[in-house]
C-alpha cells in the first residue's frame, strides 16, 4: 500500500507488482495510516493479514515469530511486543506512557498485554474483516485492539526487535495524538 509517498516508493512497488502474487494499491494523495490499512484489509484475499509500519522501526525478520503461534497453535491474533523483545532507543517518557496504556487496557478489557501500542500486528482475516474502524489517524491501532478484545479474543504476544526512530528521522507521534489515542482506548470499551 502506497499512501501518496513522494520518495520513490511507488516506483519500487510498481516493479514488485509484476509478480502476480503481489497486489499494490496507491492513494493519489496522503490519507494517513488508518486509510491505508483499511484499504489493505478490504482488498486482502489471503487468510492472514499482517500490519507493519513502513518506517522499519519493526524488523520484517520477525514475521516468522508472529506466524509461528498462528500456524502451530491456531492463535487468531498475534502482536509483536517491544517490551518482551529487544527494544532500543525508546525514551523514558515514551516507556512510561506505554506502560500506562498497557495497565489501562488490561484493567478495562481483562487482558494481559505488554504492548498495546505496538505497530506490529497479525490477524486471521476472518476475524477482522467485519470490524468497522472509524479512526482516521494512528488511533487505528488502539481502536482495532479494543474491538478485537471486545469480541472476546485473546491477543497472543511474541518478543520482537524494535529500534525507535528519533524526531529528526520522521517520528510522527505527538503528545496530542497520544492523549487522543488513550481516550479512544477508554471510549471503545463502552461504545462501538
Beta strands 77-88 and 120-124, pairing class: antiparallel
Average pLDDT over residues 59-75: 95
Over 80: is that where the pLDDT of 2 sits?
no
pLDDT of 68 reads: 97
Instruction: Give tens-digit pLDDT for 80-133.
Output: 999 999 999 888 888 999 999 999 999 999 999 999 989 899 999 999 988 888
DSSP letter for 60, please.
G
Instruction: Give tens-digit pLDDT for 30-63.
Output: 777 788 888 888 888 889 999 987 777 888 999 9
47-190, what's its fold?
Answer: Spore Coat Polysaccharide Biosynthesis Protein SpsA; Chain A (3.90.550)
Buried b (16+ CB within 10 A) or exposed e, 82-119: bbebebeebeeeeeebbeebbeebeebbebebbbbbbb
Over 80: is that where the pLDDT of 4 sits?
no
More reliable by pLDDT, 139 or 89:
89
Over 80: is that where the pLDDT of 21 sits?
yes
Instruction: Give tens-digit pLDDT for 168-191.
Output: 655 566 777 778 888 888 899 988
All three cell numbers of 26: 496507491
Average pLDDT over residues 12-20: 84
Q: How far apart are CA 153 and CA 123, in angstroms?
A: 11
Q: How far apart are CA 73 and CA 67, in angstroms?
A: 10
Amino acid at each position: 500500500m502506497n499512501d501518496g509517498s513522494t520518495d520513490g516508493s511507488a516506483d519500487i512497488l510498481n516493479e514488485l507488482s509484476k509478480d502476480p502474487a503481489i497486489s499494490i494499491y496507491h492513494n493519489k494523495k496522503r490519507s494517513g495510516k488508518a486509510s491505508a490499512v483499511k484499504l489493505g484489509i478490504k482488498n486482502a484475499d489471503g487468510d492472514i493479514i499482517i500490519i507493519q509500519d513502513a518506517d522499519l522501526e519493526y524488523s520484517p525478520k520477525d514475521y516468522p515469530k508472529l506466524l509461528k503461534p498462528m500456524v502451530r497453535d491456531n492463535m487468531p491474533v498475534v502482536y509483536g511486543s517491544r517490551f518482551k523483545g529487544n527494544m532500543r532507543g525508546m525514551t523514558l517518557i515514551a516507556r512510561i506512557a506505554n506502560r500506562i496504556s498497557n495497565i489501562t487496557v488490561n484493567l478495562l478489557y481483562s487482558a494481559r498485554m505488554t504492548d498495546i501500542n505496538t505497530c506490529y500486528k497479525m490477524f486471521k482475516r476472518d476475524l477482522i474483516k467485519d470490524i468497522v474502524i472509524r479512526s482516521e489517524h494512528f488511533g487505528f491501532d488502539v481502536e482495532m485492539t479494543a474491538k478485537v478484545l471486545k469480541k472476546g479474543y485473546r491477543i497472543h504476544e511474541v518478543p520482537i526487535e524494535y529500534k525507535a526512530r528519533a524526531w529528526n528521522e520522521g517520528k510522527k507521534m505527538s503528545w496530542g495524538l497520544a492523549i487522543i489515542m488513550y481516550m479512544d482506548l477508554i471510549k471503545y470499551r463502552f461504545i462501538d
